[in-house]
Structure 1
């Protein structure tokens, strides 16, 4: 038991947030789950308050979830936590690095710059250009810049014709603006989640999709299974997560006919896949990692 005071930035009542808070409480005797919707930043003093807790007086915070849904508003919360970090409170992961992954374009641009294998991707505001991309790809996934668990994504097929796809593109543009189009790749019914803690490989699990869904997310009926990743595949995941500096993350990888590709690196990473797929309590390991970091580098 230590007297270290660490809060969890997350969603009160959600399993992944509460299990992390449970482990911290067991080791430190302190428990605080912070809902960013109730945080107040005093700009003139730099103080952040959550109810009766002054966050600036803590030893650290673990950013488990910044928002239930990604949106430009999540960027504002990241900036608030950046103020907390500037006051000397250690953040795991740092707000700057988390912020790079809230917006899908910024995250995948970093992966592309790092020469990480990705599905072919095109970005445009032009409906005409987007139609040309759909024709080029044959089948494309249209993705919002701010979303998780495949929410808001659409599969567009060139065979559906220009009129149909124009209608879908215009409706999407009215809500989201920019077109982020990625070539549809055959997942073979599964994709992989590769887990890293402090930059070190932890495990890999597979998400096996529901036969009726085009994606394999648990949100769409997928199931977790263990997966024995090859050294080459682990190296791909390692290079992807190394484009960022995250305390804990999951790299989403697909095994396609043309070789493995990375879909994204998670801003937060998930505990459920590691536990259900690999039997590893990643929340406990993250807690140990953070306490060790604070002990060695206060």
Structure 2
């Protein structure tokens, strides 16, 4: 799918706006971004040599706050290690199935080492700001890697379940103190026998605010989106009762719905993050 109107319709469940004759030009980069979809079924084919390295080069080309580069990534290809991580992340089969599983890290250990090696203290690392910075850095880097992977014809899916049991993940990956696994990423060739559609997103009226934030527009936008998502769930034969709003509300209704992540602050403290 490369037609701009088709891609926009797939991404929003409708044509959200018309590109006027003198509007900015559509290009291949926008086509690639709007074509993104999460892949949860992979072929066993190994990745070509250099794939991982080019993905990491792309990741390292992302913006990073003050050039501190407070992220790292662990590439996991070992079958047994992927099996262990899969169990900790909700027993997701695609973690075991993909040829490459990347665990993206908020990494403050490297800066601590740099400071100590130069005779400086590193009290600043104990504050919440630095953890937020490291999480943002890791996220920006990972998304660049995803764009690169998709340009190679590969599929990906993020794994938030890697945060379900952080201390055990840290033990499996031999993470030092002040390093936290933010999320995982499956990478591999999509299984062509399993069709995966582009999932519609919220209307731009829900997420795009001009000059100031406007909560009042949410009701109409969400109601419209719920209808689009109900149709999408039915079309894709997804077992999702109700609409997007109901599904999302249930996802945050109780601490139990967080699948263990309700104790994240405790886990971070255990992993060496003060979070002052």
Instruction: Sort the TM-score into its range (normalised by shorter chain).
Output: under 0.3
Higher relative contact order (CA 8 A, sep 6+): 2
- In proportion to residue count, which structure has more strand? 1
What is the TM-score when the length of structure 2 is the normalising length? 0.22
